[in-house]
Structure 1
Amino acid sequence: MTSSFEPFEQAMRDLAQRLASRQQLRESVLSRLVLHLATSMADYMDEPLRAHGLNSTLWTSLVVIYAAEGHRLKPSELSVFMNSSRTNSTRVAKELERQGFVERFGSEQDRRQVFLQLTPKALDFVKENMPRRRAQLKEMFEPFEPGEIDELERLLRKLLARFS
């Protein structure tokens, strides 16, 4: 069985032969493999959410707000949890609000502070879909032994440290 990554790998092998540059082939293939895998995982994780007008970013934002005290969070806090810019978090919040998953309201202590509050629709949606999401994640990593999962996490964190 060939993978969706095989055509790229073959093209890289052909290119390395033509350029007589096998030295960089492995690093090129590994870096592209990580990017290809990230895209494939995002597609896999987004698939069940599409019917609800959501993607993984919107879902994760819902879960982060769900986990916050009182199911509410400041947009700036959402930005930190999501590891994204405030501009992107604002877009996410607007989309969740447009779909009826969050409402914005001002703080009683400081009207300049805004909170995102999950709506009853969002609370029901998260409660209903969280077990499905957990099952999807479990299924994704099913081929791995526990030790392999630990090693994969260690290696990914080591690679991440390169960019931190």
Structure 2
Amino acid sequence: MDKTSSFQAFEQAMQDLSLRLSSRTAMRESVIARLFQHVALRLNDYMDEPFKEHGLNTTLWTSLVVIYASRDHRLRPSELSVFMNSSRTNSTRVARDLERHGFVQRVVDPSDRRQLFLQLTEHGRAFVEAVLPSRRAYVRRALEEFDAAEIDEFERLLRKLLRKLG
């Protein structure tokens, strides 16, 4: 079953249910919720695809870019956790994976030896700078069916939904 037909089967089931319940609104709400799930899965797959050859995924890439964008290309693991909206346990796993790839190294904070920084290595900096232009083009291709006004509206609506969901 292809990606489109898997959603069509769900949509047909919801149409059948709405007829039995005489509620078009319930069907629409279910279809929209399921569309979000389908889009989220496809978007994750799409965004991860270019990184497979490097043994990375979007989470590792985004973490790497956040560290690259940080002052002196370094960040505390707890700060990475906040930026990535993830648990400290997950940030520890991410840091370990980035370190294993040679993109970051753990360095002691000179002002508080109990604290560590994730410091971008030269290899990590070079990787981000080499990949960033093609990554931006790749993301643009995902949005190329939308005009500028639609993209603005899409962003506004996604932010509104994010605020609502907390």
When normalised by structure 1's length, the TM-score is 0.93
Q: Which amino acid aligns with 2:52?
A: R
User: Using the alignment, how far apart are the partners of 1:116 and 1:23 within structure 2?
Assistant: 49
> 1:33 deviation in Å?
0.6
> 1:19 deviation in Å?
4.4
Q: Which amino acid aligns with 1:3?
A: T
Q: Which residue of 2 aligns with 1:86?
A: 88
The secondary structure found in structure 1 opposite 2:112 is coil
User: Using the alignment, how far apart are the partners of 1:80 and 1:36 within structure 2?
Assistant: 27
> 1:119 deviation in Å?
1.5
User: Using the alignment, how far apart are the partners of 1:120 and 1:7 within structure 2?
Assistant: 49
> 1:118 deviation in Å?
1.2
* Worse-matched range after superposition: 7-16 or 25-34: 7-16
Q: What do residues 54-81 of structure 1 show as CA deviations (whole Å, max 9, x unaligned)?
A: 0000000000000111111100111111
> 1:20 deviation in Å?
4.2
Can you give the 5+ residue segments of structure 2 that lack an aligned partner in the other structure?
none
Q: Which amino acid aligns with 2:4?
A: S
* Worse-matched range after superposition: 12-21 or 81-90: 12-21
The secondary structure found in structure 2 opposite 1:111 is strand
The answer on 1:26 being equivalent to 2:28 is yes
> 1:16 deviation in Å?
2.8
Q: Which residue of 1 aligns with 2:153?
A: 151
> 1:17 deviation in Å?
3.0
Q: Give the % identical residues.
A: 61
User: Using the alignment, how far apart are the partners of 2:158 and 2:85 within structure 1?
Assistant: 17
Q: Which residue of 2 aligns with 1:124?
A: 126
| 1:67-82 → structure 2 map (5 Å cutoff) | 67-82=69-84
Q: Which amino acid aligns with 1:99?
A: H
| 1:1-164 → structure 2 map (5 Å cutoff) | 3-4=4-5, 5-164=7-166
Q: Which amino acid aligns with 2:150?
A: E
Q: What do residues 67-125 of structure 1 show as CA deviations (whole Å, max 9, x unaligned)?
A: 11111110011111111111111111111112221110111111111000112221111
User: Using the alignment, how far apart are the partners of 1:113 and 1:55 within structure 2?
Assistant: 27
User: Using the alignment, how far apart are the partners of 2:143 and 2:154 within structure 1?
Assistant: 11
Can you give the 5+ residue segments of structure 1 that lack an aligned partner in the other structure?
none
Q: Which amino acid aligns with 2:79?
A: E
Q: Which amino acid aligns with 2:159?
A: R
